[in-house]
Structure 1
Amino acid sequence: MLYNYLLIAFRNIKRNKLRTFVHVFGLSLGIAICLLIFNQLLSAYSFDRFHPDEDRIYRLNTYSEWQPGEFFQSSGTNGPLGEVLDEELSLIESKARLYHLYETMVSIPEQNKVIGRKRGVAFADDGFFEIFPRKWLAGNPTSALSEPNVAVISESSLLHYFPGLSAGDVIGKEVLWVDSDSIYAQIRGVVADFKENSDFIFTDFISFKTIQKMESEDWYGLHSWNNLNSSSQLFVKVNEGVLKNELDEALLGISKKYLGEEGNNTTFIGEPIAEMHFSENYDDSTISKPLLRGLTFVGLIILALACLNFINLETAHAISRAKEVGIRKSLGSDRAQLMLQFLSETFLIVFVASLFSLLIADQIHHFFKDYFLSEFTFSILEVKNCVFIFSIALLLTILSGIYPALIQSSYHPQRALKGEVNYVNGFSIGVFLRKNLTIFQFAVSIAFIIMVAVISTQLKYISSTPLGFEKNAVLFTDLPFMGDRVVREQLSDRIRQESFVKGVSMSGVLVTSNSIWTSDAFYLKDTIENALNVHVMNVDSAFVGTHQISLLAGRNTNNQEDEIVVNLNFVKTLGFSEVEDMIGSTLRLGNELRTIVGVVDNFNARSLKEEIMPIVLIYRPDYFHMLTAKVSNGQNLAYMKQRLEDIYAETYPFETANFSFLDEVVESFYENDRKINGVLFFAAAIAILISILGLFGLSSFTIAQRTKEMNIRKVLGAGVLQIVGLISRQYVWLVSISFVLAIYPAYYISKLWLEDYAYRISMPYFLFAVVGLGVMIMALLVVGFHSLGVAQSNPAKVLKSE
């Protein structure tokens, strides 16, 4: 029986090639996109789910209101919190302290071998391996990190540092890590690397007690409740049955007890370890949950459009199969058998579409690699993908096929054989559904296109907005942190001597970046201190000139630590009308008094999503770790970049020379927005393609039904334009209603997105009209293509049977 159903289904599919093509192409696109999003979601939500009792593990975060109505959440905690936690909280089973380092120089003293800089280095205590256990290849897990100047390395570090040696052979060997100071430590253990997806990228673990022995608590920011360092992190494993709100309530008591007045607007909260991948991790691979939800929503909409296309065309096509149903019922088939027949036909179409979707998904993944997470991989033959494809084929068979099957199996045999199913007296549910499904499809497509137009216009606007500094032909590189000051200056002088270099500056931060150092500053006026929150930037006196920032009054600092330069917003915040009035004034930063010697114009030290804060440029050369060079425009930038890297390598032979372009940093601020725009553009293209395919198939069928009517009108004197207009009129109304329905959702979502930008365009309403008109023209071209064929047909041939 099933074989017969499938055989008949195959013959029907083969007989209606256009309808089958529309179904298979539309469904395969929708399934392919959902398959990729399904894999992306599985990948994103798999991070750090494998740890034992992961539901009881939390990373403690600091949550504070640093300005009225403005909240800041950091993954770091105050250093002393890790010391008092055991005494203050009875609901935790264990704790782990971690201090991760950015890039650390590694060498093997015994071999006089320099490994180079690594990012996976951290200070950790024994509790870390208790909460996040690993397979130990050598060493004692309970005591490996219990003493100062001992370390545990991973298997990957073992192969890198000591090629050819086993895990047991390296126990007791010494490794040198250079951060703010030289850290010599003996290896006490070797652990296996995580094979699962994890945000813990660390390969080298130095005992936390080493910090106390080095007396470096002050440097690492672990000495005070008033010092928050995001590198200082604290993990806890709570007792069984303890809920997050219980942990947060207990932490609130600690903040009030130890932070004093600051505890009124600062507290500690627990972040489930599985959420770390969506907030702040260690290799900048964070992905936002709203983006994932948006991708899921887009994928489901596209799949829904494809399903609606199927339902729309099948219900319209049902009339042409009325006599088949009548004959089958007359020969004894019941409704259940007919429904099974039609559902088997649907399943065959969906199954073929699912197979094609695997190929389409593979190609989409290939061409859009940059839009997926770096750890995301896709393979057609993976078991999870096969299960997903089979499951969605069954689901879509039911969702897409059940209504058309009900309609087609409901015809009365006598009326069906007489051809009376076309007769509609009053309201028709079939016609109503077809029109409204078409409206919904085009409304979604129009909304997508409008959002793409708005985002593209905003991105074009920010790319042309003056930033207050020169970003083109500017290269920068990192310098060894806390390196020799004399060597830094030698490098700067050598680069400055190159003929193509127009300026060189050293600083603790780029002229524009995602990092920020804020502080309370106190302006002294008539013995009264006026407090304001400022953005502090550590730069030398060449910084302003190298970046071509306009100097409005005064002069640059002469590389004097007691002199500072402020920006125009600093002057405005204090209420001064003339910038010259600021020159010679005194400002207190911390416990140090500094003299304002210059005022520069405003420049965007952060992205255009944020307002420009009052900025203070200070001079603290010991903490410079960035070198910036302005080079000549219009020359061979590749050659200049290579020349600068060669000079860097000569000065720092053990460092990696890598100069980057400042304009690429500026572009990276909006990379996620560009990806969102790309995703929406792709979704809009797919949505409009599916809608047009549906319209193409639906108009083909509708016009075929009205062929005789149109030719009778021609006989009675109707012209070609009249007939085309008559057929197209209903589609003009459908697209017009779709446009009206799409306006508000597109406006609302676009408005929410634009609100992320401090500098943004006004809502481009004219684009709404342009998009609506464009979709209208596209729809009319599709319908007109079919209508013209009917309008130009020979009535004698069409009506010869009448």
Structure 2
Amino acid sequence: MLKNYFKIALRNLLRNKLRTSIHILGLSLGISIVFFIFNVIWHAYSFDRFHPDRERIFRINTLTEWDMGESYPTPGTNGPLGEVIDSEISFIEAKGRIYTLWEVLTLVPEGNRVLGRSSEVTFADPGFFQIFPRKWLAGNPASALEKPLSAVITQSNLEKYFPGVQPLDALGKELVWIDADTIRAQVTGVVEDYTENSDFIFKDFISFATIQTEEQKEWYGLHHWGNVNSSSQLFVKLEEGSDKNQLEASLAAIVDKNLEKDDQASTTFLAEPLAEMHFGETYSGTSVSKVFLNGLVYIGLIILVLATLNFVNLETAMAIGRSKEVGIRKTLGGRRWELIYQFLVETYLMVLSAGLIGLALAELIRNLFSSYLPTGFVVEYLQVSNLAFYALFPLILTVLSGIYPALILSSYQPVRAIKGERVASTGFSLGVFLRKNLTVLQFSASIAFIILVLVLQAQLRYVSSQPLGFEKDAVMYAKLPFMSDPDQMLRVQQLMNQESGVSGASLSGSLVSSNSLWTSDAWIPMDTTEKQIFTQVMNADSAFVAVNGIPLLAGKKSTNRDDEILVNENFLKEAGYLDASAALNQTIRFGGEERKIVGVISNFHSRSLREEIRPLLLTYNPRFFQTISVKLQAGQNLAQAKLALESRYKEVYPYESEEFHFLDEAIGEFYQEDLKIRNVLTAATFLAILISAMGLFGLSSYTIAQRTKEISIRKVLGASVIQILSLISREYVILVMVSFALAIYPAYYFLKDWLAGFSYRMDMPFGLFGVAGLGVLLLCLLIVGLHSYQAAKANPARVLKDE
């Protein structure tokens, strides 16, 4: 019996190849998107799910809120909290402290080998391995990180540092890490690497006890309750029966007990569940936004719904064509449930075929969007979750897309069905009503997607065309080794200036425009009192203004003195100076010292155009320079200039692998996430339009075919081709207009929130809304017009000869 169902289903599908092709192609697009997004989300939620008792593990985050409305969340905590939390909170089973190190130079004294820089190094205490246990290949888990200058390494780094050495033989060997200071430590343990997805990328664990002197604690910012450093992180594991709310209430009590009251700022410690860590700040920068994931889910569901609507729409439209088949089968004793089963088998065959094509399309999508995907992401087709997807999703989709057409087809009355009638003639047809509304939903989604893409593109063009207040062209930069010797940095600068194609080189703490943000307070003398200003601070040398082309409005550039500062126009406004000349030579208090304003520069965008320009001062502190910027002369061969600069850089830092980059590319990265959203929406728009167009093509070709006799009669009675085209198209114009009306608000709602994230934004471009609606209308008229024109040009004599 089952074999017969599949035979009949296959014959019916092959009999109408156009209908079958449209269904399979539309469904395959929907399935490929859903399958791909399913794997992306499964991958994102798979991180650090393998740790025992993970639901009881939390990372402590810090939220600092200022009275002017700004807030600064960070996954870091101050040092003293890590020292007292387990004694202050009774239900903490274990605590683990780490202090992450960035771009640390690693050396192996044995063989005098320099292995380059690594960001997989951290200080850790013994409690860290209690919360996140690993398999130990050598060493004692309880004592390996107890003493200062001891270290635990992973098996992969053991093979890199000491090739061919067994874990037990590695114990006692020495490693050196060069950060702000030189750390020499002995290997006291070797652990296995994680094979599962994890945000804990560390491979070298230096004992936290190595930070032992007050001077070291102060250097790492661990000495005071008021210091919060994102590198200093704290994990806790709660006892069974305790929860997040209890933990945060206890943390609030610690704040009240230990932090001084401040009218301008407040500090809150928050408990972040381990399962949420991948969606916050991670150590490798591979975090995923839950908003972005939810957006992918919505896009996937919309595309799948459009493909499903195509199926339902076309099947219900073609139901009249199978009414005689149903009538005959019922007359011969066929029962309704058997007919429903037959139609569902046909649907299942189409879904199954679409699924196979969809898997191939999913791999194509993965290759096209590889740059948008997490590092290491692959579609594992044979993993359990995907096998479950293959088994269950076709069945679910078969029921969702096939049950309504099956119910409609199986409900025909035999006598009327054999006559070619479906139901008694009435003024209302549920099938026609549904087809029109399903078509409206398809067009609404397509129009909304087009509006989103057009407006996102227009806003990104707008911000890229705005003056930044500095010159970004022909400027290259490179990072300097952390805490490099100031003499070495000056030497690099001198070598850069000696290059023939270089007009100037500057040392600074950060680029002229970056995501870096250093804020502090400045105190302006006001008669007998002082006025406090919350200001942005940039650390730069005397060449910074000229190299970056920032206009100097008054005074002079600094002379590399730590008691001289430059300020911008917004600083003048906040300080209350009437003009630039009034501020010159004024003395303010900053960083606990008196500083003299020697120059005033124009406002420039030191961060993205999502933010307003802050009051800014430029100070000079050569110990903390981290960047060298080089302005090239016009007409240079950029590729050759890059090689020449890197060669000079290597003369001073032979062990570094840093390359020079272009400033304009770094600024373009401000809007990488927006570009990703735009490109993903563009792809979704293309698919939505393609699926809707295919559905309209199949539907219009069938429905117009049903009206060929009507069209022929109208031609015989004198109707012109234009009149016939107008008659048939009028209905679709109305449907597109309704679709446009429904698409406006969802698109506006999303765009209003997105544009609100930019301090510098264009007005809502309602004209682009009309462009989107007009574009879909033209596409609709083109598809319907082609079919209508063919029908209108047909010879009435041939069509009406059997009447």
Q: TM-score, normalised by structure 2?
A: 0.98
**Structure 2 counterpart of 1:183:** 183
Displacement, 1:390?
2.7
Displacement, 1:213?
4.3
**Structure 2 counterpart of 1:211:** 211
**Structure 2 counterpart of 1:527:** 528
Contact between 2:509 and 2:627, CA under 8 Å: does it hold in 1?
A: yes
Q: Does 1:105 align with 2:105?
A: yes
Q: Does 1:39 align with 2:39?
A: yes
Displacement, 1:635?
2.3
Displacement, 1:553?
1.0
Contact between 1:148 and 1:213, CA under 8 Å: does it hold in 2?
A: no
Contact between 2:59 and 2:75, CA under 8 Å: does it hold in 1?
A: yes
Displacement, 1:371?
1.9
**Structure 2 counterpart of 1:714:** 715
Secondary structure of 1:373's aligned partner: coil
C-alpha distance 297-20 of structure 1, shift in aligned 2 (>3 A)? same
State the distance in 1 between where 2:553 and 2:764 align: 34
**Structure 2 counterpart of 1:119:** 119
Q: Does 1:684 align with 2:650?
A: no
**Structure 2 counterpart of 1:724:** 725
- CA deviations 1:704-729 (Å, max 9, x no partner) are 11011100111111111111111111
**Structure 2 counterpart of 1:292:** 293
**Structure 2 counterpart of 1:133:** 133
Q: Does 1:236 align with 2:230?
A: no
- CA deviations 1:386-419 (Å, max 9, x no partner) are 4313311101100000000000000000011112
Contact between 1:22 and 1:693, CA under 8 Å: does it hold in 2?
A: yes
Secondary structure of 1:670's aligned partner: helix
State the distance in 1 between where 2:745 and 2:405 align: 32
Q: Does 1:313 align with 2:307?
A: no
Q: Name which of structure 1's ranges 374-383 and 679-688 shifts more when overlaid on structure 2.
A: 374-383
- CA deviations 1:114-138 (Å, max 9, x no partner) are 1111111111100011111111111
State the distance in 1 between where 2:691 and 2:364 align: 18
Q: Does 1:71 align with 2:71?
A: yes
Secondary structure of 1:73's aligned partner: strand
Secondary structure of 1:261's aligned partner: coil
State the distance in 2 between where 1:525 and 1:213 align: 41
Displacement, 1:652?
1.1
Q: How does 1:653-802 map to 2 (within 5 A)?
A: 653-802=654-803
Q: Does 1:174 align with 2:174?
A: yes
Amino acid at match of 1:511: V
Amino acid at match of 2:451: I
Q: How does 1:191-270 map to 2 (within 5 A)?
A: 191-213=191-213, 215-262=215-262, 265-270=266-271
Q: How does 1:361-400 map to 2 (within 5 A)?
A: 361-400=362-401
**Structure 2 counterpart of 1:420:** 421
State the distance in 2 between where 1:447 and 1:577 align: 49
Secondary structure of 2:261's aligned partner: helix
State the distance in 2 between where 1:475 and 1:225 align: 39
**Structure 1 counterpart of 2:153:** 153
C-alpha distance 214-655 of structure 1, shift in aligned 2 (>3 A)? farther
Secondary structure of 1:513's aligned partner: coil
**Structure 2 counterpart of 1:88:** 88
**Structure 2 counterpart of 1:447:** 448
State the distance in 2 between where 1:265 and 1:773 align: 52
State the distance in 2 between where 1:491 and 1:64 align: 38
**Structure 2 counterpart of 1:473:** 474
Amino acid at match of 2:602: D
Amino acid at match of 2:356: L
State the distance in 2 between where 1:645 and 1:440 align: 57
Displacement, 1:87?
1.6
State the distance in 2 between where 1:414 and 1:369 align: 58
Give unpaired runs (5+ residues) of structure 2.
none
Q: How does 1:506-525 map to 2 (within 5 A)?
A: 506-525=507-526
Amino acid at match of 1:11: R
Provide the alpha-carbon RMSD of the alignment: 1.2
Displacement, 1:527?
3.0
- CA deviations 1:119-176 (Å, max 9, x no partner) are 1111110001111111111111000010011111111211111111111111101111
**Structure 1 counterpart of 2:590:** 589
**Structure 2 counterpart of 1:457:** 458
State the distance in 1 between where 2:730 and 2:382 align: 48
Q: How does 1:642-657 map to 2 (within 5 A)?
A: 642-657=643-658
- CA deviations 1:210-229 (Å, max 9, x no partner) are 11148400100001111111
**Structure 1 counterpart of 2:18:** 18
Secondary structure of 1:110's aligned partner: coil
C-alpha distance 678-544 of structure 1, shift in aligned 2 (>3 A)? same
Contact between 2:320 and 2:421, CA under 8 Å: does it hold in 1?
A: no
C-alpha distance 414-14 of structure 1, shift in aligned 2 (>3 A)? same
**Structure 1 counterpart of 2:350:** 349
Displacement, 1:509?
1.1
- CA deviations 1:27-80 (Å, max 9, x no partner) are 100000011100000111111111111111111011121243322211110111
- CA deviations 1:434-464 (Å, max 9, x no partner) are 0000001100110010000000001111111
Displacement, 1:503?
1.1
**Structure 2 counterpart of 1:429:** 430
**Structure 1 counterpart of 2:541:** 540
**Structure 1 counterpart of 2:405:** 404
Amino acid at match of 1:37: I
State the distance in 1 between where 2:515 and 2:492 align: 26
Contact between 1:362 and 1:380, CA under 8 Å: does it hold in 2?
A: no
Contact between 2:412 and 2:423, CA under 8 Å: does it hold in 1?
A: no
Contact between 2:416 and 2:423, CA under 8 Å: does it hold in 1?
A: no
State the distance in 2 between where 1:784 and 1:693 align: 15
State the distance in 2 between where 1:368 and 1:176 align: 40
- CA deviations 1:537-562 (Å, max 9, x no partner) are 11111111100001111111100000
Aligned residues: 802
State the distance in 2 between where 1:747 and 1:122 align: 46
State the distance in 2 between where 1:65 and 1:764 align: 35
Contact between 2:125 and 2:209, CA under 8 Å: does it hold in 1?
A: yes
State the distance in 2 between where 1:371 and 1:480 align: 29
Q: Does 1:637 align with 2:619?
A: no
Displacement, 1:508?
1.1
Displacement, 1:380?
4.1
**Structure 1 counterpart of 2:622:** 621
Displacement, 1:379?
4.1
- CA deviations 1:482-510 (Å, max 9, x no partner) are 22211211111011010111110001111
Secondary structure of 2:79's aligned partner: coil
Contact between 1:495 and 1:501, CA under 8 Å: does it hold in 2?
A: yes
State the distance in 2 between where 1:281 and 1:676 align: 21
Amino acid at match of 2:389: F
Secondary structure of 2:224's aligned partner: coil
Amino acid at match of 1:759: Y
Amino acid at match of 1:57: I
Contact between 2:323 and 2:421, CA under 8 Å: does it hold in 1?
A: no
Amino acid at match of 1:620: N
State the distance in 1 between where 2:374 and 2:116 align: 27
Displacement, 1:656?
1.4
Amino acid at match of 2:231: S
State the distance in 2 between where 1:513 and 1:424 align: 70
Displacement, 1:383?
4.6
Secondary structure of 2:212's aligned partner: helix
Amino acid at match of 2:340: M
Secondary structure of 2:268's aligned partner: strand
Contact between 1:362 and 1:379, CA under 8 Å: does it hold in 2?
A: no
Secondary structure of 1:216's aligned partner: helix
Secondary structure of 2:318's aligned partner: helix
Contact between 2:474 and 2:632, CA under 8 Å: does it hold in 1?
A: yes
Displacement, 1:657?
3.1
Contact between 1:646 and 1:657, CA under 8 Å: does it hold in 2?
A: no
Contact between 1:151 and 1:185, CA under 8 Å: does it hold in 2?
A: yes
Amino acid at match of 1:471: K
Contact between 1:472 and 1:663, CA under 8 Å: does it hold in 2?
A: yes
Amino acid at match of 1:49: R
Displacement, 1:385?
2.6
Amino acid at match of 1:2: L
After the TM superposition, which parts of structure 1 deviate over 3 Å for at least 4 consecutive aligned residues? 379-384
Displacement, 1:370?
1.2
Displacement, 1:568?
1.0
Give unpaired runs (5+ residues) of structure 1.
none
Contact between 2:320 and 2:420, CA under 8 Å: does it hold in 1?
A: no
Contact between 1:225 and 1:258, CA under 8 Å: does it hold in 2?
A: yes
- CA deviations 1:73-116 (Å, max 9, x no partner) are 11110111111112211011000110001111111223222111
Q: Name which of structure 1's ranges 521-530 and 676-685 shifts more when overlaid on structure 2.
A: 521-530
Amino acid at match of 2:52: P
